[in-house]
Amino acid sequence: MELIIELPSFTKKNVDKVVGKIVGKNIDVFIPENPAGKPALLAISTGVYLRVAYNVGVYASIRLNDINLLHAYSSALTASEFGFRGLTILKGDKPEFGKVVDEDSEETLSFIKNRIKNIRLGLIVSLRYGLDKIKQRISKRPDYIMVIHFGPGRMGDLKLVADTARDFGVKTYPFLLLGLEKSKGLFEELGQAYFQPSDIRQVCGSLGSIVDGVIISSPLDLSRAVDLVLQECI
């Protein structure tokens, strides 16, 4: 099972600090573009830096509320040329400022897949939707899905989604939100279910037989999250 750390890239200093801990540890990073619609270092640019400077595995996202189809295509081309592990296509939250562009994620996926063959493309799937709607999205045949709204008591629902995805040859990567000190308050404010730090070993062990990888997310406690993953999941 792949281990992936969500790495919001607000400063180069913090990116270097976190990645310095995982070099050579067989852990990848996922760089979200403008998390919650707030300005940040460009995910694609940060990913290129990490590929060149550290040679770590990189997943990144693009937000179609911010960019047009040409920019999305160029981002995929860049990810392909620099050997990213995947590029996740999503609409994203409303941007803090600027106009909403509003491209369609499934149409963008199809457009890029027909033109760039050596980059894995992913879509977001929410467990808040029914299985039929999730299956419809998986049928668009992304290379992988990143699953949001996974939490305590949802392992059975996640398995149904992962089994459905496997039938289509699609890999499954759920977000595992860790309720560490600062991030716990953020998750509660957003109404997001999270796991206690003491649960991570058991949850990672259970996920290993269900999904292809897991994205560990604790955006306000990154260093501590990395330490826990190294201690409990390796």
What are the sequence ranges of the domains in the chain?
2-232
* Closest listed residue to residue 81, CA positions, set 46, 57, 41, 116: 116
**pLDDT digit string (tens) for 140-184?**
999 999 999 999 999 999 999 999 999 999 999 999 999 999 999
Q: Residue 69 has what pLDDT?
A: 97
* Closest listed residue to residue 56, CA positions, set 116, 5, 117: 5
Average pLDDT rounded to a whole number, residues 24-33: 97
2-232 CATH, one of 3.30.930.10, 3.20.20.220, 3.40.50.1370, 2.160.20.10: 3.20.20.220
Rounded to 5 degrees, what are φ and ψ at 81? -65, -30
Average pLDDT rounded to a whole number, residues 106-134: 97
Provide the β-strand partners of residue 38.
none
Does the pLDDT value for residue 234 go beyond 90?
no
Crossing angle for the helix pair 131-138 and 155-167, to the nearest 10 degrees: 30
**pLDDT digit string (tens) for 34-91?**
999 999 999 999 999 999 999 999 999 999 999 999 999 999 999 999 999 999 999 9
